[in-house]
Structure 1
């Protein structure tokens, strides 16, 4: 339930306005009644959460009587609620010039300064607020502390507000936002839920809840929360931005564009809306338009990770390699575990002639057991440029193989001792502790890593990263069932793509394929545009004989990623072959082999497709090549054994099929045993 205007944390300025109105009487203007009516409408709209309507009515009040300080103060408060600090400060100045008591506006000025990014001035101004408005002032100060990175002090300040006023909905939503910043997702969820329960018209809380639900349950589940905020205020800018971004990730691009246009209608210079339109244009290949839209942001978002990634991409596409390198280097400096940024920067450095720089940048990715073939090829080319051809050959060999190892923690360059010292410098920082235990895992100290991971969970039980670290440690020791349970607990808080992939892998490796399939299906139902999830779903569809479904999934992916992905084309080949369309399967297999002729998977697909069309001799040659590249791969030997059987080479067929059956993970055991029996 909302507090009365006079003491409500969201509406203190409006309470001020009413109190002053009772003292100062009505405006001394011929149109005083019109101004009073408009201001009353503004207050009523603000109370039910329609902040945009409150702003518009306050504007009408100001137009009706520009000399009424109270109307300017109320208009300033609506701007603050909409997150627009510049016009809020201007209106406060006008209110003061018209006689509004500045002593009653310190917390409002502080809020305006905060929204403009001036945290020091915000803190200074908030400290001047009289006791009557201390709750609002402390909230602004807490948000300023959080913006400066002092999250513990911010939480302490908000705890003091809530101790004095436990029903303060906006203090709860502020606390939720700060907890979100600390990684305490469970705590953030609790605070946001509490804020909404206290005041269903708290748009900040509804928007925060949408962001949290997006991570906790998925994109589709988040949309109703943003829509709930927008039902109360159709033009509420913060919700529109989050709504548009989520619609884009879902693939509803027309709706995304509509939401950004609404945001620009209420705030024509909205850098966030322009950025999202630039992203949309870039996805459609309209790079000039995307570049123009980014220029219109006037650099307001240039320091944000997404803008750095997009800006570098646009520079690179236009041939501005040095500019792209500078942007991506800054991004990697802030997010050293951002694999996409590292890969892009490594490629750009290699193209610019800095092969050693490319190696330094790509090394942490290449150290992963599941490193992709593109990255491995880049590393090989970089070694070639530095005349280290022996190392180049090793990485080219790795690039030719399909990734067979599970996803490992990000490659750690620092020693466990160095990472341990960093963690000890700030024992309360979960991020440093995660780095330390990952260093222990990489160094093979899994026992010590497990103790550290369990301690991390106790330290930060609301942080999904803690459970992921625990799961990674269990997985490193092949304790997959326990890893799956740790990942489940992480997913209960934040169900994003990395968590899903870990959970699915652990469940599958622990013999829980149906549970793994359910996790994957749930994730896809909420995140239908996830390329990684769609790839995995298609692979399992092929394994289950659901070839029509696999073709639909894979063709949709091909339309998005193009025709140069050998792994995707290989899967398409097998899907069409399984669907008895040998001609199409052969075309895809041939295309995949042309891209990656040393990859045993593409070689196998091409050979198997030829076999399906009756070209047994050529098929045998290709399968022999595939087996020579990956002799431990049971499925390759099984395919070759079948071809040898049809060619009448019984002895060779027995050898290959027996080798396949010797692998305990080989799944076509019954069929292989039956063929082997016929061979005598």
Structure 2
């Protein structure tokens, strides 16, 4: 009796679920909505459900193929399209979808053949991507240019053309193409990703972060958007913000090279060199082609007191990338740790002889010269105490760039190094160092630096603004107001000073 009751219950549940399942039309509508929202996984589920009930709905099948392409599944898209009748596959828009699926599968010639004779932007894009896969860059450029010049250009082509132009070093062209793509489709994820990469190429980290945030607003699961955002967060020193992103990516795609490097880089920034080694060691051969990854792995080995192993990793990379100062410094560190000062001196000399040699390079040269018994050690030490104009100019440029990028720790370190080596009497360096320290929560040190800057240049409006606003924030309102009012008189058109003065007077 109990058994019969259970069987009846199962039948009732199945009937209820069947009654609640959406109609094919509803599934198609849900799939279209999810696709438009860049929710490709949700779209795939809805469309597969709809096609199960209505397998002859050709438009739904085409959208499923487009969804599979968006998910990087060229094989699945090709299989989906194979079930369409010939009158559908002959349609130009469907042929372009089929061509893109073949390109994803690495079947570049098939992709070109499928769009042969078609004069549309989507077909031009397939041709261009296929030619890139075949290594025929000039033909790819021609196909992109043809598509961009059409009366009704395709937004996806413009975004792909922008990325192609960026990789060819044509930044201004890429910028214009992205602008055109986003004008046609403001929600195009690929265009926002290209804009993020353009900003990264210009080292505009806050702008790049904003672009990656826009990508994830449009498509929260976007893989490239999550990797890109995590990379920028690490560059900005926001390691706690990067951690959950890196963890989820490692769980999702543990063998993806970009994720492996991301996890290792995060561990390196946290000073966990044993973790860096454990992450990179299983992938040593694949990742050695990237000098940045090689440098990270080599440093981990040095920090873990394995200099001989580090040399085995670093020296071949330095031969391939001889212009990398970071790699050369690491090789020298490993040579010194391996008790080869003569070799270290020969390796570091090209850097230490430069007028813009860094303190680290001069210190390494001095150590190597002393160990090798060379009389050049005194010269390196003298230069260490007397910074060259070339070094000062280079460090100021790096420090200012770090400040613009909100890389507060890097800015603090760079400005502090300049002050230490130049005697600490540069008002603008003190001012900028004060600002960086304030962003790091070092309020007392920041105020001290800002007031030192005011003593050096009491009529500089920007310096007065920095110190005055810090005084107001620290509770010394009267003194801060006096400085802000002087700053406003000196530079009445400065909006930042006017805002600070207005907020201080209203508080």
Q: Which moved more, 1:372-381 or 1:89-98?
A: 89-98
Structure 2, unaligned stretches of length 5 or more? 1-17, 454-507
Structure 2 partner of 1:239: 225
Deviations 1:344-380 (A, max 9, x none): 1232234345556544543332232121233223234
Pairing of 1:210-609 with structure 2 (within 5 A): 210-216=196-202, 218-263=204-249, 267=253, 269-294=255-280, 301-333=287-319, 335-352=321-338, 358-383=344-369, 389-399=374-384, 401-407=385-391, 501=397, 520=400, 524-529=403-408, 531-532=410-411, 535-536=414-415, 543-544=426-427, 553=436
Could you tell me how far apart the structure 2 residues matched to 1:405 and 1:149 are? 45
2:192 corresponds to which of 206, 210, 229 = 206
Give the match for residue 76 of structure 2.
91
Question: 2:155 & 2:351 partners in 1: Cα distance?
Answer: 44
| Corresponding residue number in structure 2 for 1:513 | none
Partner of 1:110: 102
Q: Deviations over 1:119-154 (max 9, x none)?
A: xx4432322223448744543453465577765443
Q: Deviations over 1:507-540 (max 9, x none)?
A: xxxxxxxxxxxxx3x8514333362565337867
Secondary structure of 2:114's counterpart equals coil
Cα 1:545/1:76, change in 2 over 3 Å: closer
Partners of 1:58 and 1:527 in 2: how far apart? Answer: 44
Q: Residue 123 of structure 1 aligns with which residue?
A: 108
C-alpha change, 1:59 and 1:160, in structure 2 (3 Å) is: same
Provide the residue aligned with 2:469 in structure 1: none
The 8 Å contact of residues 75 and 91 in structure 1, kept in 2 or not, is answered as no
Larger RCO, structures 1/2 (Cα 8 Å, 6+ apart): 1
Calculate the aligned-residue CA RMSD, in Å: 4.6
> 1:248 Cα deviation (Å)?
1.7
Q: Distance in 1 between matches of 2:37 and 2:347?
A: 52
- 8 Å CA contact 1:52–1:233 kept in 2: the answer is no
The answer to whether the 8 Å contact 1:241/1:263 transfers is yes
1:38 corresponds to: 27
Kindly indicate whether the alpha-carbon contact (under 8 Å) linking 1:358 and 1:382 is maintained by their aligned counterparts in 2: yes
Question: Which stretch shifts more, 253-262 or 289-298?
Answer: 289-298
Quick one: structure 1 residues 94 and 144, their matched pair in 2 at CA, closer, same or farther if it must change by over 3 Å? closer
Give the CA deviation at 1:48. 4.2
3-state secondary structure, aligned to 2:69: helix
Note the C-alpha offset of 1:192: 1.3
Structure 2 CA distance for partners of 1:205 and 1:290, relative to 1, 3 Å: same
- 1:57 maps to 2:46: yes
How far apart in 2 are the matches of 1:333 and 1:146?
Answer: 29
Shift in Å, 1:381: 4.0
Counterpart in 1 of 2:486? none
Does the 8 Å CA contact 2:102/2:111 hold for their aligned counterparts? yes
Report if aligned partners of 1:123, 1:144 keep a CA contact under 8 Å in 2: yes
Q: Deviations over 1:633-667 (max 9, x none)?
A: xxxxxxxxxxxxxxxxxxxxxxxxxxxxxxxxxxx
Say if 1:154 and 1:335 are closer, same or farther in 2 by CA, change over 3 A. Answer: farther
- Cα deviations by residue, 1:86-110 (Å, 9 ceiling, x for unpaired): xx14414643675787884652343
Q: What CA distance in whole angstroms lies between the structure 1 residues aligned with 2:406 and 2:428?
A: 24
Deviations 1:314-363 (A, max 9, x none): 33333443443344345445544332222112322343455565445433
Shift of 1:209: 0.9
Classify 1:63/1:273 alpha carbon distance in 2 versus 1 (closer, same or farther; 3 Å).
farther
CA contact (8 A) 1:77 1:108 kept: no
Q: Is the CA contact 1:110–1:122 (under 8 Å) kept in the aligned structure 2? A: yes
How far residue 243 of structure 1 moved from its aligned partner, in angstroms, is 1.3
CA distance in 2 between counterparts of 1:576 and 1:134 reads 61
TM-score under structure 1 length normalisation: 0.52
> Shift of residue 159 of structure 1?
0.5
Q: Distance in 2 between matches of 1:148 and 1:336?
A: 30
- 1:652 maps to which residue? none
Q: 1:50 to 1:299 in 2, by over 3 A?
A: farther
CA distance 1:268–1:315, change in 2 (3 Å): closer
| 1:81 counterpart (70, 79, 85) | 70
Q: Displacement of 1:189 after TM fit?
A: 1.3
Whether contact under 8 Å (1:69, 1:96) holds in the other structure is: no
Q: CA deviation at 1:233?
A: 1.0
CA distance in 2, matches of 1:97, 1:258: 41
Cα 1:577–1:202 change in 2 (3 A) is closer
Report SS of the residue matched to 2:161: helix
| Native 8 Å contact 2:358 2:391 kept in 1 | no
Question: Offset at 1:200?
Answer: 1.0
Contact 2:362–2:381 (CA<8 Å) still a contact in 1?
yes
The 1:43–1:377 alpha-carbon spacing in structure 2 relative to 1, beyond 3 Å, is same
CA positional deviation for 1:284 = 1.5
Listed one character per residue, the Cα deviations across residues 386-411 of structure 1 (whole Å, up to 9, x for unaligned) are 55x23344334434x24223149xxx
> Cα deviations across residues 472-510 of structure 1 (Å, max 9, x unaligned)?
xxx9xxxxxxxxxxxxxxxxxxxxxx79718x9xxxxxx
Sort the Cα spacing of 1:175 and 1:404 in 2 relative to 1 into closer, same or farther, 3 A.
same
TM-score (norm 2): 0.67
